[in-house]
Amino acid sequence: MSEVIGRGAEAVLKKEEFMDGYCVVKERLKKGYRVEELDEKLRKERTKEESKLLSEARRVGVSTPQVYERQENVIKVEFLDGDKVRDLVPEYSEEEREKLAEEIGTCIAKLHNRGIVHGDLTTSNMIVKDGELYFIDFGLGYFSKSVEDKAVDLYLLWEVLDSTHPDYRDELWESITESYKETCDSSEQVMRRVDNIAKRGRYVSDR
């Protein structure tokens, strides 16, 4: 059985039977506007990078889907039958949201300490299964020690909270950043840069 469960600009996601359960097969799509050889090279490199990011994240204590196989432009990972954080936020009590947000902040800090930038920190890319928080879809991720890159990673999450969870934005952001500061080695510099990015954004929007 194969079922398409997601389709984006970069890849198509399929749910397939695997051993005694299911897996997610992610295949990066060809880009007709790119030279064929370059397109093939980029898709292979990005698939390899995503596989490495998922494995490295697990090594530093951030739960991610287990990588089963990687071939050329296709990566096969564990299917997580859980709930997206996006859907849980409005259902949770204030205490549950606070605990979840603190865990999110700690996980992001662990990634950043290892030099992993997720690249797409949305509450749709976080899943809770059996009480455990997982980060998924590192397709836009990369390795970087840059304070700017880490700050942009966080600021994009702020924008997601602002647009997707406006009623809970402030409480979530406070808990996320407080736990981030407690765990991230470069939190002071990163949070300063986040503030600068926010000011730049407000300046542009006010022009």
Residue burial 14-45, b: 16+ Cβ < 10 Å; e: rest: bbeebeeeebbbbbbeeeeeeeeeebeeebee
Residues 61, 150, single domain; the answer is: no
> What span, in angstroms and rounded, lies between the C-alpha atoms of 51 and 167?
35
Residues 61, 149, single domain; the answer is: no
Count of domains in the chain?
2
* Contact status, residue 14 vs residue 23, Cβ threshold 8 Å: no
- Domain of 69 in residue numbering reads as 2-78
Is 20 part of the annotated catalytic residue set? no
Last residue of a domain, one of 51, 78, 105: 78
Residues 17, 59, single domain; the answer is: yes
Residues 74, 100, single domain; the answer is: no
Residues 33, 73, single domain; the answer is: yes
Residues 176, 158, single domain; the answer is: yes
Catalytic residue among 39, 83, 120, 149: 120
20 vs 96, which has greater pLDDT? 96
* Contact status, residue 135 vs residue 64, Cβ threshold 8 Å: yes
Is the pLDDT reported for residue 99 higher than 50? Answer: yes
Residues 136, 62, single domain; the answer is: no
Is the pLDDT reported for residue 72 higher than 90? Answer: no
SS3 for 40-70 is HHHHHHHHHHHHHHHHHHHHCCCCCCCEEEE
Quick one: pLDDT at residue 170?
A: 97
Mean per-residue pLDDT, 88-94: 97
Is the pLDDT reported for residue 203 higher than 90? Answer: no
> What span, in angstroms and rounded, lies between the C-alpha atoms of 101 and 95?
10
Nearest CA to 27 among 76, 81, 85, 67? 76
Residues 17, 110, single domain; the answer is: no
pLDDT band at 188 (very low <50, low <70, confident <90, very high): very high
How are beta strands 132-135 and 126-129 bridged, if at all? antiparallel
Q: Check which CATH number belongs to the domain holding 8 and give it.
A: 3.30.200.20
> Is 0.75 topped by the overall pTM?
yes
Residues 157, 106, single domain; the answer is: yes
Is the pLDDT reported for residue 32 higher than 90? Answer: no
Mean per-residue pLDDT, 39-60: 95
Mean per-residue pLDDT, 74-85: 96
> What span, in angstroms and rounded, lies between the C-alpha atoms of 5 and 56?
25
